[in-house]
Amino acid sequence: MLSEGFCTELLSELARYEASGLPVARPNSMNNYGVVLNACGFEPVMDALQRQCVAPLASLLFPHQGGDADHHHTFMVQYRHGEDLRP
């Protein structure tokens, strides 16, 4: 659904944001290596992606409820061996 170029640019921008020292909103209490995309300026892009791609696909796959996709909690999470371990 997303081109390799778009994904590369998105990851680069998120790395720049993390390095900027600005506050980072984490997606949930279980992950210390994630970021909420809406909190760092990506909400308009994710709104467009939802409207143009996700909502039409959801409507086709779930005809009774798929058309109700009108909001999102969009985030990226990084997983690495040995990180975010819970005892």
pLDDT at 77: 84
The answer to whether residue 87 is domain-embedded is no
The answer to whether residue 18 is domain-embedded is yes
The answer to whether residue 17 is domain-embedded is yes
pLDDT at 86: 63
pTM for the structure as a whole: 0.72
Range of the domain at 67: 4-77
The answer to whether residue 86 is domain-embedded is no
Asked if 16 and 2 touch (Cβ cutoff 8 Å), the reply is no
pLDDT at 12: 93
The answer to whether residue 46 is domain-embedded is yes
The answer to whether residue 85 is domain-embedded is no
φ/ψ (deg, to 5) at 27:
-70, -25
The answer to whether residue 27 is domain-embedded is yes
Report the number of distinct structural domains present in the chain.
1
pLDDT in tens, the chain (87 residues): 679 998 899 889 988 998 998 988 888 877 777 889 998 899 999 999 899 988 899 999 998 887 787 888 888 887 777 776 665
